[in-house]
Structure formats: structure tokens, C-alpha cells
Amino acid sequence: MQSTAGARPERPPLTPRRYMRLYGPLALTFLLMSGSSPFINKGIARLADETTGLAAFANAFPLALFLYSPVFAVRDIALKFIRGRTSYRRATLFLLTVSTCCTVPLLLVSLTSFLDNLVLHRILALPDDLVVPVKHAILAFTLIPTLIVFRGIHQGVHITDDTANWVGLGTAIRLVMILIFVFVIAVPMEMEGGVIGGLALTIGIATEMIVNTISARARTRFIRFDSPNHPPPSWRDLWSFSGPLFVANAMNVLLMSLTIAIVNGAVAAKPSAAAFNVVKSFTWFFSSTLMATQAMALARADSVANLRRLIRFTLIPVALFTLLTALVSWVPSIRRAMLSSFFELSDEQTIEFVVATIPFALILPALMATRSLARGLLMRGSATAWLTIAGVAGLGLLLGLRALDPTATLANGTTTGFLCWMGALVLDLVILLYALARVGIARCVHEPSLAPTFMEEKVAG
């Protein structure tokens, strides 16, 4: 008689209620994550030397983000491979090795001087008075890669076990802790602005990690036992799946940096950059929630019928966010309320650039949802190399456009920069759809030999 320990019953069809039980917490997670930076910036702006603080955080955050971008794939790796005690431990050890490799360059940049000329002066082009504040800020980020590993692993465990409500709860508590640290502790103590930003994110992610880790280990049974149906992955399996994801994530981070460089090339560089920040914040605040579709596809597109249901359900938030964008684009009273009341814009040229750019964001919700769905399906099919190819192609397009300097003679660099970024995303999506056609939807849904199936088979007693 075989043991039933660790085995779970076969999942029922993806109903609207089950969709919302998973999509709701994940969407809330992306929404709250994208909303934390504005609060941190508001706190730093209250310091006596707000200019240095904001500049240090603005330069340190993208660099740190790029250096630890590989660990953004942790949740996807957990969803793909963790099916029992051994796979849980092996994936954790593998990902801790990756996080260590991400932490080392953060320490080298922040604590040593031999990389200052290359990284801080040539790449970031920092003035001398910002070098020390930026190094202090980067040092505050050094714990984040390890924290993200433990957070992402247990988020993946929760999603696999249909307990994603803990994921959303952890992110909500994270935002509360960030607000408490910034406005109650750090600002009254007059900490350096860049250090406030780094420590706020560290404390927030640590809180989120604690909530997800404790709840997963206390409430999830399948990571306590090994399922006889699913042998644990080898290190080679983990690396062959994860390596392309690490590169693809780094490419995604660089896309936005290159886009900002294109925007800054405009004649009216300052209002163009300010307007682009507003457009990005508005569109990303809503569209980022559609990135939850990637985890949904990886975790629940386990049959053709469930894939069709997932696509139908995803059309609802896509339609909602498209409608919101249309209202802001075409209804003056709503647009005025957003720009004047929420973003507190007063500069007429900045407002003009925002108004000219927002209508082009109408296709962004559909683009983000389709791209996330395609990425999730390719991960299910272990065809992650295509994600790297798509990311490199999008980055190559932006590099070519940057070389052409399309905004050099334009006052409005916001619209041109936004369209260049959208063009890179469209090229990325075209390659992903081509990859799906080559790999085959059926193969991705049912998964090839390496990947453990999400439709757990009942183990007969």
C-alpha cells in the first residue's frame, strides 16, 4: 500500500470563484508593490536635504534592482518545481546560491572603491557629491536578494496549495511597515534619503517574507513529504530552466533605463522626464496587476479547458483597465482630477506632454496580459530560452532607437519615449507568440517530461 502523504486531490475546473481566489491576492500584491515607491519618495522629500536624498535613491534603486534582478524569478521556479520536501530543500539551496551571487556585487559597489570609476562615474555619471550617498544607499539593499528568495519560495508554495490569500496579506502588511518606518522612524531621525529608501524596502520585504514563510510552513502539508509521483529536480534541471529567466529579467530592467535615456534626450528634457514618470506611474499602477496572469498561467493552465477559462476571465480586468485609461484620456474632468489633485502637477508643459501620451496607453492592458500569459505558458513548457531571446530582441530595438536619438529635435520626449518602450514590448510579444506556435500550446499545457504536473494524480491507498 502506497502512502498518501503529500499528495493532493486533482484540482477541479477553474471557476470564477477559484480564479478570483488566486488572481485577487496576486493582483493586490503587484498593486501594492508598485505603490510603495511614491510613499518612500514623499518621505525623503520631507528631509532637510531632500535633493541629495531623492537623487541618491533615484540612482541607487535602479542599479540595485539590476544587480539582484535574477531573484525575481524565484516564485516562478517554486511554482514549477516544488512538489515535496526534497524539491523544496533543493530549490531553496539553489536559489540561496543565486542570491549570494547577487549580493556580492552589491557589497563590492557599496564597500570598495575599485568599481567606483566604472559603475558610479562612467555608467551612472554621478557627480562627486553623490558618490558616498549612493554607496550608502546600495549597502542598505544588500539583504534584499536573500529575503526575496525566502519570500518567493513560500509565495509559490501558497499559490500551488490554493492559499494565495496569504500572499496578498503579506504584501499589505509590507506596505504598512514601510509607511511606519519611513514616516515614524526614519524621517524624524533625519537618516540619509538613499538609506531610508533601501532600508524601507528591506524592512517591507522582510515583513512580507516572515508572513509567507511562517504561514506556508504551518499550513501547507505537501512540503513536509515527498510525492512518489514527482521526483525532485536536479541542479541541472533547475539551472536549465532558471538561467534564461535570470537573463530575461535583467533585460526587462534595462528596458526602462534605456527608455528614460531616450526621454532625457528631448529638447525639453526636464518636463519630458517628469511627464514620463507620471504616465508610467499611472499606467503601471493598473497594468502591473495583469502581470499576475503569468503566475496564473504557470499554476492553473493545466488543461486546455482551464486555459480557455483563464483567457476569458482575464478579459475582465483588461477591459476594466482599458476603460479607466480611456476615461482619463478623453474626459477632461477626470484627467484634471488625476493630474492636479493626485499627482499635484502645476507645470503646463508637463501636463501637455502627459495629455498627449496617455491615449497611446490604451493598448497597454491587453499587451501586458497577453505577454504575461505567453510567458507563463512557455515556462510551463520549460521553453524559457525563448524569454531570453524575446528580451534581448526588445533591448536591441531600444538600443538601436537610442543610437538614432529620436527625441533630439523634439520638445516632447515623453510620447516618443513611451512609444519606443511600447515598440520593444510588442516585439517581445511577437517573439513569444512565435515561440508558442513553435513549441505548441498542447505541450505547454500538459508539460514535457521534466516538469511536474499541476494536476496532481490521486494516489491510491
Q: How far is CA 381 from CA 19, 81, 449, in A?
A: 22, 12, 9
pTM reported for the whole predicted model: 0.85
Show the CA angle centred on residue 84, arms to residues 81 and 89, nearest 5°.
75
Per the CB < 8 A criterion, the answer to whether 54 and 41 are in contact is: yes
- In tens, the pLDDT along 270-302 reads 788 778 878 887 887 777 788 889 989 988 888
Q: Phi/psi class of residue 6: alpha, beta or left (left: φ > 0; alpha: ψ in -120 to 50)?
A: left
- In tens, the pLDDT along 64-109 reads 999 999 999 999 999 999 988 899 999 999 999 999 999 999 999 9
Percent of the chain with pLDDT over 90: 45
- Pairwise CA distance, residues 387 & 302, whole Å: 20
- Pairwise CA distance, residues 3 & 11, whole Å: 20
- Pairwise CA distance, residues 396 & 399, whole Å: 5
* Average pLDDT over all residues of the chain: 85
- In tens, the pLDDT along 317-330 reads 999 999 999 998 89
Q: CB atoms < 10 A from the CB of 356, how many?
A: 15
Within 74-192, residue ranges assigned H as helices are 74-81, 85-111, 128-139, 144-160, 165-180
Rg (CA), the chain: 22
Q: What is the mean pLDDT of residues 414-434?
A: 94
- In tens, the pLDDT along 154-171 reads 999 999 888 889 998 998
- In tens, the pLDDT along 373-405 reads 999 999 999 899 999 999 999 999 999 988 888
- In tens, the pLDDT along 167-217 reads 989 989 999 999 999 999 999 999 998 999 999 999 999 999 999 999 998
Q: How far is CA 235 from CA 310, 383, 403, in A?
A: 32, 17, 40
Per the CB < 8 A criterion, the answer to whether 360 and 390 are in contact is: no
